[in-house]
Structure 1
Amino acid sequence: MLATGDEEGAVDTVPRMQTTAGRLARLGFADGARAERLLHGLGPEAAGDLALLESLVGAADPDLALTSLDRLAEKDPGVLGALRGDPGLRAGLLGVFGVSAALGEHVVRHPGHWRLLEGERAGRRPSGTELRAELLTAVGADPGDPEPRARDASTAALAALRVAYRGRLLHLAARDVTGRAALAEVTAELSDLAGAALEAGLAVARAEHGEAGSVRLAVIGMGKCGARELNYISDVDVIFVAEPREDAAEPVDEATALRVATRLAQSTMRACSAATPEGSLWEVDAALRPEGKAGPLVRTLASHLAYYRRWAKTWEFQALLKARPVAGDAELGNRYAEAVDELVWQAATRERFVEDVQAMRRRVEAHIRAGEAERQLKLGPGGLRDIEFAVQLLQLVHGRLDPLLRRRATLPALAALSRGGYVGRDDARALAEAYSFLRQVEHLLQLHRLRRTHVVPEGEGDLRRLGRGLGMTADPVGEFTTRWRRHALEVRRLHEKLFYRPLLQAVARLPESEDRLSTAAAQARLEALGYTDPAGALRHISALTSGVSRRAAIQRTLLPVMLGWFADAPDPDAGLLGFRQISDKLGATSWYLRLLRDETAVASRMARLLGTSRYAAGLLLHAPEAVALLGSDTELDPRRPGALLAEARATVGRYPGHAETAVAAARALRRRELFRTAVADLTGHLDIEQVGQALSTLNDVTVQAALDAAIAKVEMERRAPLGTRFAVIAMGRLGGVECSYGSDADVMFVHEPLPGVPEKDATDAAHAVANELRRLLALPAPDPPLLVDPGLRPEGRQGPLVRTLASYAAYYERWSAPWESQALLRARFCAGDAGLGTGLLHLADPLRYPAEGVSDAAVLQIRKLKARMEAERLPRGADPALHTKLGRGGLSDVEWVAQLLQLRHAGRLPSLRTTRTLEALRAAVAEKLLDPADEAVLADAWRFASRVRDAIVLVRGRASDSVPADVRERTLLARALGYPPDGSEDFVDDYRRVTRRARAVVERVFYGD
């Protein structure tokens, strides 16, 4: 029966063999009519053999396979009968014929070679020893001789070598195209076959040069041959090393030995590359030797080592990574490999090693032939070189201290890098898949004509053969092109991610002993780096890096570099401790260590942060997933208030009936955003005004979220709607949008009963909400507290916690004091019912913005109150010059100047109606109420004092208004503010100078006329 169909691979059943041209075309033949003629020409049995037809149709190029079969059958008709009786032979021979016109030509020229694919031997992999023996025998040499010599150096010997070599190539290709040999097996056998050919070529050279017995010559395989990952057709890179033979019948001196060895090497190269009636094998390229083509072809081992130690360039050590003895004197070759191996794994410590390797890759790309870059499997972007260079660079940098990475072949090296944690599992898998795919395509390209090529063709037929050779049948051209481009894009992305990873430069620059951290001097070295508790640091290091887990392996990669970054931070010990604590929490997660390893900016920023700020470290310890925010500056931008509020309210809404849980979730959100702001602050991404605005917005959102939870709980407990509108008015620094990290939430509460609700019921409900709000935000939690302080309400702590609008109006009309008008300057709606909040602010406007300004008596009272605060409220023992809030020229001084200007003039000048200190000062300048120079002095002092106050919290983890007296704490504070390690006195001098100038302005503007 005949398998036919409208598409390749589709099968119909027909009663008898009907090999029409149309049906053959639908089965996959490009020329159905020609295929029909050739099939009939093979004879009735072949024409009716459905198994034969199926094998032809399954070939990458059915027309090419049928053509070669037809030509072979003319030479040896017996092949047709053998194909019918041996499915393995049929699949292997026709599979090879369908991909390789060159091997088809070889079998036609040597018809007996198809029998290499018969029976059990067709699937057996030969050993390297067997290949060597077979090719030596081909040139008439004795495989058992320690220095085999060919029968002669004639063209016939060279031709015999090529015939034997191609027979073995045919055998391997058949196993390859039928899937009986994996890619690693194919490339390894090709490399062994090349080594065997070089051994046979050297045997021919010995036959040509009678003095060969006076020298020992080793052939070192380089590149893909050395790594046992050779292509079907490739230049074979070699290096020759020679020594005089001491036990020679007639010993020679070194110079003579090198001359003899050079002639042997030249003849060996010629034996493989010379043209014969059977063609050539491949070019033998010795350009990777010292000094390249300008240097001697052969050197002694001592000469090689002297060159590498003194003159070798970075690329030469990268090339030596693949060095392996492949032919000639094995003992000498092994000594060479062992000696250069030591040099290879120290090469990464050379100055600019990483940068040199990266520059070399760019040069390779720059020299791609015009118009070929996008089709280059090897050299182009996303090609094999991208994978190989990335893998080799990672090996060379990390392999000096991790012997498990010392693999010559790309895929085993990539697997070792993944196991060791130097490359992420997903990245390694993607690169391995791409590498295997690209190598398979490369092999199919080269098998076709047995020519060295790495350029994907553009012709439809060629692309179709490639796709089908890879098992793509539905749409071979489209599917192949899509997969190739997808792999190329992913390879390029990963190449740039790994190859240009900044961590590589940092690791490469580390001294070996420092990277190991296991010498007796480690403790002293840590102390020299600035660790005050080196013994404790060593315990942390041991805890992080001990064991064989992937986590420990990645930590061993990260820590040497991070220890230096911690040392550059103000408090290295705190940094390392914080890193251990966070790693203990997150080390088992899939993304944490990968993020630090792959994104050097994250690791560097984290080290700086942990070594600077106990506050930020504490936040990160309880919200470790926030480490992801360190990846880029855009992540440090404050969230938009609307988006933040929506997230907070949605968070609370997920826990109906569970107010404590709801507020705990909202506080977790606040914890994350506090960390974002702290990082942005410490890195200079936000200035002090932006920090105050971000913190104030966050506090507004947190109060609103807690208010939502409190109202829901009160309504649930009362089993009735609240019955009143409720609003929270921000006061103090919260109202001024100038919160610091340690600020309480100064507020007032206002409510307004709904129509028909008794005022007492409404008031009781409002009190319950206010108290519940305060309770929820005061519950113990791992995040910094937000204490709600209603102390600025009418009558202070003696007055009602919540009032109605009417109650506020009555109080302010009858009892308001100047200090209350001043406090109301910062009143701002914060949370709850916006309309109600706005109503209270309108009610407060006449008091805080009096139409005629405050009276002289009120001004005098305000000045006296300020003087009394300076005298009475400054903590005992505090240095007035170094107290950021109440000290001379500090925050209070500047704020009271702005507020007095507002009380006097905002009634007639709306531009002064702002809750923010610096905005009020700028408006006063615009209204010519304040000299610009005075405003600049006051603003500088306010910003400096605010920065110091915030930095104290960030560094110590707790609030304080005084510059610390302790020298170490003062140094840490100065470092956090950007001063150098020895700049603490400069910091204090700067602070004194700035605040002294501000105090002079305060004396004149606030206490003057």
Structure 2
Amino acid sequence: MESLTALFSQHLTSSGLPDPVQQVVESHWQQFIERHPTFDLTLDPRLINELTHCWAGSDFAAQQCIRYPEWLETLCTNRKQLPELAKNHAERLGSAIALTTTDDELNKALRLYRNQEMLRIIWLDLNRQVSMSDTTKDMSNLADACINRTLDWLYHDACKTMGTPFGTNIPDEEPVAQKMVVLGMGKLGAYDLNLSSDIDLMFTFPCQGETRGAKKVITNQEFFIRLGQRLIKALDSQNADGFVFRVDMRLRPYGASGALALSFAAMEQYYQDQGRDWERYAMLKARVVAGDKTTGQQLLDTLRPFVYRRYIDFGSISALREMKQLIQREVKRKGMESNIKLGPGGIREIEFIIQSFQIIHGGRDRSLQERNLLNVLNTLKEKQWFSPEEAAELESAYIYLRNLEHAIQAIDDRQTQDLPKGVETQARIACSMEHNDWSELLTTLDQHRKFVTTHFDAVIADPEAKEKNDTNSNQWQSLWLSRLTEEEEQQLMTQEGFKNVKTSWRRLISLRDGKAITRVRKQSHDRLDQFIPLLLTVAAASTEPDTFLLRILPLVEAVLRRTAYLVLLIENPGALEHLGRLCIASPWIAEQIARFPALLDEFLNLGDLYNPPKKAELADELRQQLAHIPEDDLENQMEALRHFKMAHILRVTAAQVSGKLPLMKESDYITWIAEVILDAVLAIAWRNLTEKHGMPQDALGNLCDPGFIIVGYGKLGGIELGPGSDLDLVFVHNGGTNKETNGVRSIDSTTFYTRLGQRIIHILTTQTPSGILYDTDMRLRPSGSKGLLVNSLPYFEKYQKEEAWTWEHQALVRARVIAGDQQLAQQFISLRSDILGQERDDIKLKADVIDMRQKMREHLGSKTNQQHLFHLKQDPGGIVDIEFLMQFFVLKYSHRYTSLLKWTDNVRISEELEAVHLLPHKEARQLREAYKTFRLGIHQKSLQNEKPVVEKLELEEVSLKVKTIWSQWLME
């Protein structure tokens, strides 16, 4: 023992630790050797160093070693296995309490296990042998095991004296035994428990009923309340061995005045009728930690809509702000500015930053429905809500603050986050945090806290605070609150730049004085009183105040009962400015946002708004969004698909309107959106049907996976979709005739594929709260609307070769496989080339093309009484003439020039015609330029909600070139 003491003293002297810290460790060692003079253990310098750091940072750890030297021996001899022990708390604690028969024996076993494990966890943490997240996960697993094992022990004991609770929520069904469900809230729920944290719990049970098996019958609620009281006492009460965990039950419904245990039905009713904003934040991290975990998860699933709203919930940020203000006032009142959790730039501010994104966007983006803060932060970084630098700084600050929290708490196993005032304790904590001294620690701490505060202010701070002295805003508020006369109101609008004052004023006043506004809740009215003056201020500063106002007011009217959408714009005035610019440029955009206010979410990240992703990024984003929705939840899958489409169409259109995206690129993006959606829709429909019926078989009896393709025709096939385009689709399969699926509820393959096609159409065209996904046109399939919805490839080939009209071969020029079986897709491509590559009779081909073109002009062109107008698409010299020319060339020449079969879009077909010298460069270029001009015109008209018609003189020269080339080739 003397040699061990000498070795320890020698190491301590050369350790470089500050004198106050050395004195603390020396004092602990003296107590240890006085209590255990015969203790002998081989300690190498590394172990001595670890022991020194542990005792320097924790009196609690030192006292446990002094009381139980065998625990220290276990630490030293098993040091390499210490981190792994975090994984099997339940098994080890189960063994520790297996032979206990009384409450006292249980309490002692629990506390001894807890204290030994706390020693191990503190040892690992202070020696930085594990990460901060490992420490909090270890602590959470320890708490889970203590709650679970204790609850099991107490439940079986309670059933012996009070009987077993029985109940059922299903009428006429025999009651079954009930078990309690323990919900872990806060840091416990997030597997993020700190070294000396209390545990926030809720007790609940599946349903009401009565006990059986005892002399006295009591209600289930009374049983579970008594059980809960015993559980709290077993964990929380202090005795000679300390406590297990401090238990806090104040987060339960009705708080301290509420029943200790409630049924699931009572929980659901409470959160539906009385749940408050702060309780939503509390429920973000709720997790079933003990008891009946299966039914407990069902309860959490039921409560999910309370926590995560289906729409953008930006209004909830005001509740966060109010909560933070309350905390700040309390911190100031109690002089807690040095509290690293509640004080400025502390842990709570980081939590609020992350939780605000979860509450606002989590209802629609399930990847944010995650309990662990650092995991959510990483998701936010991936979704570019934070830059990599911002996310790294927030993560670094959080880890530093949590490590500092642990260092403070490890000293005496006390739940505190206050920076210490004593010089000795400061030196010890600086040592635990690997700083040279307290001054260095404070410098690093201040850097982290300043960054957190800056970011917190950017996310949570009230933007209106800066505008309180805005004279214009006050004037507009006077108008909105009817403090001015009509003459003064109109004079103000004139003064601030409105031109069509009477129209704009009447429109605004019709909202202000209308009946609809009298029926909204006070909260909504308050938000309107805040938003309208801001709207008028921003509109007056725009290039076209009247247009701005008149196109935004329909949005305001659309969200009168969901004014949380307006809070998004109040919180982000820059987003309102951008929204106004786009609405000025396009009434189509204004109408889309008024119809689907959830699109306002896109204005929170203006960088993304004007930078549409590539196809692979689109596919990955949609895959991630759908991955968070249960596979059997078709309703939410369809809503996710619709929002995905609307959001990305808005982004593409916004980029095009703002001049940041060329027209042809716009069509590419909108076509890619349709392609990734169709791919996802096919996967959903396929999974749904195969779960019911199994997989179909081909003619040889091989299973098809999927043996089905979606073929795009028209604009989809030609990569020319616009914002409001429908989809021309044809479905083809390779299922075998008279072959059945391999499931229990088998059906023949033809029926299977018909149902698959029907399911796809259902997903695309069903009207949901977010509208339909796409209008679809299936008339280009064999035999048109009279034909089968889905055709086999052999039948498709037979029809195209034996029955199809020339115009159907023209349509096939633009046909392209969009989604489905790759092998079948290659067979279709080969078949398309074979059909289009047939040599044709020139005279008949020309006559058929001209005949079909004439029919289209008669039905779809400009009317005879509008000779001064030019229909960009249908009139002679318009876009359809160019399309027919390209189709004519492919049908006429592809048997000689197979390269013409490579493309489905008009521009690249014209380029290929030029490359093989069928069209001179000048004519090919003229057709391409005319095509782009017409398409741009059609697009601009659609964004203005106008028909694709212009004054004939505007494009007479361009259309004349097209007509000349048409005549040259088709009128000879």
Q: TM-score, normalised by structure 2?
A: 0.48
Q: Greater Rg, structure 1 or structure 2?
A: 1
Q: TM-score, normalised by structure 1?
A: 0.47
